[in-house]
Structure 1
Amino acid sequence: MRGTATELTRAQRRARDWAEIQERMLVPLYEAVYQRLEVGPATSVLGLGCRSGLALLLAAARGAEVAGMEPAGELRSLAHDRRLRVLADVHRDASPGAPPPTTHSLVTAFENLYCAADAQELVRNAARLTLRGGHVVLATWGPPERCQSAGVLDVARRLAPPEPAKPAAGARYDPFGLSAPGKLESLVEGAGLRPDGSGRVSCPFAYPDLDSSVRGLLSTGVYDPAAEFSGEALVVKELTEALHPYLREGGGVRMANVFRYVVAQAL
C-alpha cells in the first residue's frame, strides 16, 4: 500500500507540474492550428489525450464547443477543475462497430500521438469521431536536429531499461518516432483520411530557472520508465546536467524546438 500511495503522490505532482509549467510550451502549436482552421463558434473540438486541457480552453475562448479524452485520472481531474468536459475514454460505452455517440468538426491529437501504443489505431478512432468534411490534426516533434531539447530527452532513453529483442508496440516512449518525413502522412492515409496541408511551428521551451525546467520536463512522462528503472535521483541529476548548456544569464533555461502538424479531412 505504501508504494501505491507514493506513486499516486508522484502522479499528482507530475500532473500539477504539467498544468503549471509545461503545458504552455505548446501554445504556439495550438494557436497556429486554430488560426489555420478558423476555429470559432461553428467548431466542435475534441481533444484526444488532452491532458489538463489548455488547448481546449484556448479553443473555447474562440467560441468553440469543446470536449476531451484523457486516460490519466490526475490530469483529467485538473481539466475538470477548469470546468472542461473530459472523459477517460470516449469509446468506453460503445459496442464494437457501433457509431460513436458524438462526432466533431475538429479532432486533435496534439500531445499523445508519439507515445500511443498504436498510433494508427488512435488515428482511425479520430477519423471515426470526425464529421464528414471535418478535420483531424496530428502533431509531433519536428526533426531532432531542429530541436535543442533532443539531447535532453535522450536522458530518458539512456537511463530506461534495455529494450527486449521484440518490443511490444508502444513499449518505448520515443518522442521522435514520428518525426521522419512521411510518417504522419502515412497515418492519415491508413485511416482513410484525405491530406489537407501541414505546417511547422516554433515552440521554444523556456523556464524561469533550472528547477522548474526539470519539473516541467519530468511532467511530460518521457522520463517515467527511466525513473522506475534507474531511480528518480539519477534521472534528475542527469537531466540537470543535460540542461546546463541552455542556461541563460539570470538563471533561466531556454531551448528552441520545432513541432510539426498535419491536417486531414474526413471523407
Structure 2
Amino acid sequence: MASTQVGGTTAQRPRTHGGGGAHSRARDWAEIQERMLVPLYQAVYDRLEVGPATSLLGLGCRSGLALLLAAERGAQVSGAEPETELRELAQGRGLPVSADGYEAHGERTATALPRTAHSLVTVFDQLPGTEDPAPLMAEAARRTLRGGQVVLAGWGPPERCESASVLDVAHRRAHRGAGRAPSAPFALSRPGALEALLAGAALRPAGSGLVSCPFAYADLESAVRGMLSTGLYRTAVEDSGQAVVAKELEEALQPYVRPDASVRMANVFRYVVGDKLR
C-alpha cells in the first residue's frame, strides 16, 4: 500500500499557478489541496468505526487519499473517479479505482466477479459544484448494500468558511451564457439540503457532523494552485483565462496571508450519514 504522507512540496516550484492543464491541476490536488480534507475523512471513519469489516466505495474519490486512510484501518476499498488524470494518480498509489467504480483486474470470471455493492459508500468531494446531484445520489444508493450506509459531505455554512470570499472569484469570472453557470459550492450548505438528497434516494438520515478543515498553504502561490485544483474555477478559467482568475485569487487571498508568508483560512465542512433500509 502506498504511503499516505500528505506533506506538500510545492513551495520551491516556479510561479506557474499549475499551468492550467488537467495534469497540472490533478497533481496540484494530490500534492497541495487533498490533505486539507483529512480531518473530514478521519471524523467520518471514526464515527462509523471503519475497519476490517468495512467494504468502502468512494464515488468521486479523486486521487484517492480518503481511500488510503480507510485502507490503513483495514477496510476493503475501491473508488470511482471520472477524471482520467486524477484516476491515474489514484491507481499510481496502488488503489483499485476505475471510471465507474467496478474493480476490474484482468478478465472477469464467474469466480472473480467485481464487487457491485458495499457496506459504505462515500461522496466526499463530488457534490460541491454539481448542478444535478440526483443521478449521483441514485448511484450511491444503488451501490450500497441493504443495511449499509452512504455519507455525503460538502461545505459548511459560508459565514463559517473564510474560503467563501475566495470561492466567489469563480462566480465573478464565469459567464452565464449558453446554458452554462458557475459552480455554487455552498448550494447544499443550507439546513436540511444534504438530508433532502438522502431522502430523495430512499435513504434514512442517521446523523450528521461539522468538521473543522483549515486550508493552510506554504505560500501564496501554493494557495492559488491548491484552490484552482478543486475544479470549482473551471468555468471561470475557460471564460476569463487562467492568468485573470489567478490574479483575482491572489487578491482575494491577501487577507489570509500571515507574516511568515504562509496562507491559512478557517473552514467548516458538514457531512450526513444515510442508512439504506431496503
TM-score between both structures, scaled by the size of structure 2: 0.86
Partner of 2:24: 13
Cα offsets for 1:73-132 (capped at 9, x unmatched): 0000000100000011247x9xxxxxx951000000000012334212211110110111
Distance 1:253 1:37 in 2: 32
Are 1:249 and 2:249 an aligned pair?
Answer: no
Are 1:144 and 2:153 an aligned pair?
Answer: no
Write the letter of the residue equivalent to 2:140: A
Distance 1:114 1:159 in 2: 18
Shift of 1:9: 7.3
Q: 1:73 to 1:192 in 2, by over 3 A?
A: same
Write the letter of the residue equivalent to 1:125: E
Partner of 2:53: 42
Distance 1:64 1:116 in 2: 28
Q: In the TM superposition, what are the counterparts of 1:219-230 in structure 2 within 5 Å? A: 219-230=229-240
Post-superposition, which runs of at least 4 consecutive aligned residues in structure 1 deviate over 2 A? 114-118
Partners of 2:210 and 2:269 within 8 A in 1: yes
Gaps (5+ residues) in structure 2? Answer: 1-18, 105-113
Are 1:132 and 2:142 an aligned pair?
Answer: no
Are 1:188 and 2:198 an aligned pair?
Answer: yes
Gaps (5+ residues) in structure 1? Answer: 1-7, 94-99
1:75 paired residue among 77, 86, 89: 86
Distance 2:115 2:70 in 1: 21
Partner of 2:174: 160
Q: Paired residues, what number? A: 251
TM-score between both structures, scaled by the size of structure 1: 0.90
Shift of 1:163: 4.8
2:222 paired residue among 212, 228, 244: 212
User: SS where residue 21 of structure 2 aligns?
Assistant: helix
Partners of 1:17 and 1:215 within 8 A in 2: yes
Cα offsets for 1:186-241 (capped at 9, x unmatched): 10100001110000000000001001000000000111111111111111110000
Partners of 2:81 and 2:100 within 8 A in 1: yes
Distance 2:27 2:248 in 1: 22
The percentage of counterpart residues that share the same residue type is: 66
Distance 1:230 1:191 in 2: 37
RMSD: 2.0
Q: Which structure shows the bigger proportion of residues in helix conformation?
A: 1
